[in-house]
Structure 1
Amino acid sequence: MTNSKLLLGKSRIDITPDKDTILGGATISGKIRVDYIKDPLYANTVVFVRNERKMAVITLDLLMITRKYVELIRHELQRRWGFDPDAVMIHATQNHKAPSLGHFKISEDYKGIPKELDWLRGGDERYHPYAVERIISSVEAALDSLEPVKIGCGSGVEGRLAFNRRMVMKDGSISMPSAAGPAAQMSRYVEGPMDPDVGVVAFQGESAPISALLLHYTCHPVHQLGQFFISADWPGALANEMKASYGENCVSVVLNGACGNINPWDPYADQPLNDAAVMGNRLAVSVNRVIGDISFRDDAVLDWKIVHIDIPLRKVNEGELEAARRYIADNPEPGWLNDVFLDDKWVYASGMLDLHEQVERNPIYRYEIQVLRIGEAALVGLPGEPFSEGGLAIKLASPSPYTIIAHNTQFAGYIPTKEAFLRGGYETTTSNWSKFVPDALDRIVEASIETLKQVFE
């Protein structure tokens, strides 16, 4: 279909796994299966077409997606429908009540994992083919529903639902507050900012006043972390609220921002909020307020660009490496703490050896930065979990007044600030989930701003 107007297609396809699919989002390594399905998981997809140029934005209610599966899906969309792979953004919201698409804790190249324990790598191979097939189907369904739309952009502020999770304690160490209650009495201050931006890109179609939405907020989806059920957490709750406001056919693509150091638990509250539905409802109030003030237009430039930058991997400390080798030599297979949980020391030691092998093979990581332009709005796709300081710096310098950060467009681990490394803490510990040199975030911010300027010129 050739049309100079902006066309949009949308779909929301169920990707909920079976209950016996092993989840990867627990804080302790184990064969985590769910007790029940609280609400379904979806692939939420919007496709844009203008003058035969096609773009797709896909969000997944999943924990992670690895580069292997991003490339596989992009290749299939190119092969079947002619998409430029650089114009396909795939974003896992980092939902901790869901499986991953791909292995992220320990790479497929590491040979030290027994075949029967392959799920220890962070993914369940039984789920991967199903998820890929459903994601590709979501794009097909979106292409089959193309219609002319008008576009409008806006933003709001909501600073009461997400919090910087790195508390600087009285002894200078870092502590992470939880849903259990405050850590304030032992702390000095919160290390850094959160991002209160509520981003909204709304589309009016012929069939509905609000046909689809690109929505943006920044917070780990980790509500009720110690309970084992499937849920889409706050991004799913927000999407459901939008359906309640604008009808069953309204598809909301929720893009989670640079939330590497952001959680939903107020460190100073006697009883922190720990309910995804309440968070979704409060965000929806902000979104509806923004939509009420938006002006719509019927044309929008579509453009995109991917750049890659080389980021050095951190070398594993020799003492820690030798300790990991000794531990695995003494314990060639992991011990079980019970019928669900494994000895975490074994998993950490295996991950340390895995990272060392990665560094030995190639000490440079090829990091992808993706920028999509839809009219005045910019979407910036960043692999891994950048700290909120990085997302804020990009927004401040962006030529677009409506800049949305989508983290976790591929698994790449935590990306802290240089200053965070001086204090340490979970996010800075050398591992598969924190493996870049300390100035990695600065490099990513600089390259993202430059790419935004190129796209918006």
Structure 2
Amino acid sequence: MPKLNALMLGKSRVDITPDKDTILGGATISGKIRVDYIKDPLFANTIVVCQADRKLAVITLDLLMITRKYVELIRNELQKRWGFDPDAVMIHATQNHKAPSLGHFKISEDYRGIPEELSWLKGGDERYHPYAVERIITSVEAALNSLEKVRIGYGSGVEGRLAFNRRMVMKDGSISMPNSAGPADKMSRYVEGPMDPDLGVVAFQSETSPIAALLLHYTCHPVHQLGQFFISSDWPGALANEMKRSHGEACVSVVLNGACGNINPWDPYADKPQDDAVVMGNRLAVSVNNVIEAISFMDQAELDWKIVHIDIPLRKVNEVDLAAARRYLADHPNPRWLNDVVLDDKWVYASGMLDLHEQYERNPLYRYEIQVLRIGNAALVGLPGEPFSEGGLAIKLGSSSPYTLIAHNTQFAGYIPTKEAFLRGGYETTTSNWSKFVPDALDQIVTASLNTLKAVFEHS
């Protein structure tokens, strides 16, 4: 293999914290819930990696969601300003439930049944979106302005004590979801599937810093202290903060949250499950630092990337549910306020059902993006939506790369359960805008991801 040019890295951490007046779309289904207070700030954490004339960017956002509209807008702007190939830009929202979203996700942008003054019911706060986009672009500019020569190293660890499969099979065969109250219901029998204990680490070393930047990967919903409406970056932010304490204020950690569709931070068998994001972040940091101690660094790393699209069929809304939704909206053309901040859930669910039906009528196929970035021996796999952990594990087991770091939620696409999960039902399988694909969608995604990894890593 010919000698490559020097590996260069730029990094930045730019504040994207919203105003206290911002509406938290992930707090409830139909509540106009505003921020109570800001516990800790939110950031766009960005690295740009360059070698010769090739460059890629990885941006993680301490946000709930990002929609395709804003992913494409940001990618196009980076192409126009600095010549990035849009396929080489990965944007990942960690699915932090203590933050707003970038774009609408509960109900689609195209649905016209929501009054303009109630646009927040779609999931986003349109006052926040332009600010977030501007700050994200600023983060890339700052990273480009900080390029320096680096060395790269890879490692992985196992941390199985902090995340748990959240689908509990009950005695009658149904599914319940354990929460932070604990312990599991006495009628529970076993958790349905695995968690993913893999802790991925890609470290960058510069002439001025032994650990200049980190790409980190773990798999768990950031949902600590649900029901409390403050701003916080949850465990990904706590982990990044602890890495700064360990390796210096200049260290930037880009945390990739994996296929966590069925993974929560609460031990279903604990009398009092651990529910503190800082505790989780600090415990992860100990494991990360143990991995870093064993890493060997090298000067060069091949850069490559590829995006493929597959057409996944949408589930068709059944006629009974569709008729019921239409009747409800005909009887209640305007939503009913239950109190000062919460609207009638049934109205929102009915609107969502009609929205999903209209999406299906326009096009019964969803154009699903699979993104693979290669940074030397590491593969970053970007998957829209919330795949179940079984999918992430299958990709890792079959990957052509020795180190595979998965980032879910690179665009909003809803839950992507296993086929087996549909047999039992439960929240993640109930047809809605946040669960809309056919039951074999996860299998399709795994197959296409493995083929894309093979194309990127075995082309020579």
TM-score range (shorter-chain normalised) is over 0.9
Indicate if the aligned counterparts of 1:325 and 1:353 stay in contact, CA closer than 8 A: yes
| Aligned-partner Cα distance in 2 for 1:31–1:182 | 31
Indicate if the aligned counterparts of 1:312 and 1:437 stay in contact, CA closer than 8 A: yes
Aligned length: 455
| Aligned-partner Cα distance in 2 for 1:373–1:278 | 32
| Aligned-partner Cα distance in 1 for 2:208–2:135 | 25
- Per-residue CA shift, 1:235-261, capped at 9, x if unaligned? 000000000000110000000000000
- Per-residue CA shift, 1:98-128, capped at 9, x if unaligned? 0000001101211110111001000000000
Aligned to 1:256: 257
TM-superposed deviation, 1:25:
1.1
Indicate if the aligned counterparts of 2:211 and 2:251 stay in contact, CA closer than 8 A: yes
TM-superposed deviation, 1:28:
3.6
How does 1:54-453 map onto structure 2 within 5 Å?
Answer: 54-453=55-454
The aligned amino acid for 1:268 is Y
Indicate if the aligned counterparts of 1:184 and 1:268 stay in contact, CA closer than 8 A: no
Q: Report the secondary structure of 1:185's partner residue.
A: coil
| Aligned-partner Cα distance in 1 for 2:70–2:388 | 24
Q: Report the secondary structure of 1:288's partner residue.
A: helix
The aligned amino acid for 1:389 is E
**Deviates further, 180-189 or 241-250:** 180-189
Indicate if the aligned counterparts of 1:324 and 1:350 stay in contact, CA closer than 8 A: yes
| Aligned-partner Cα distance in 1 for 2:455–2:29 | 43
Q: Is 1:4 the counterpart of 2:5 in the alignment?
A: yes
| Aligned-partner Cα distance in 1 for 2:111–2:78 | 30
| TM-score, scaled relative to structure 2 | 0.98
Indicate if the aligned counterparts of 1:106 and 1:351 stay in contact, CA closer than 8 A: yes
**Deviates further, 320-329 or 180-189:** 180-189
The aligned amino acid for 2:230 is F
The aligned amino acid for 1:50 is Q
| Aligned-partner Cα distance in 2 for 1:370–1:430 | 26
Indicate if the aligned counterparts of 1:29 and 1:342 stay in contact, CA closer than 8 A: yes
Indicate if the aligned counterparts of 2:29 and 2:348 stay in contact, CA closer than 8 A: no
TM-superposed deviation, 1:271:
0.2
CA RMSD after TM alignment: 0.7
Q: Report the secondary structure of 1:378's partner residue.
A: strand
Taking only the aligned residue pairs, the percentage that are identical comes to 85
| TM-score, scaled relative to structure 1 | 0.99
TM-superposed deviation, 1:184:
4.2
| Aligned-partner Cα distance in 2 for 1:260–1:422 | 17
| Aligned-partner Cα distance in 2 for 1:257–1:27 | 23
TM-superposed deviation, 1:340:
1.2
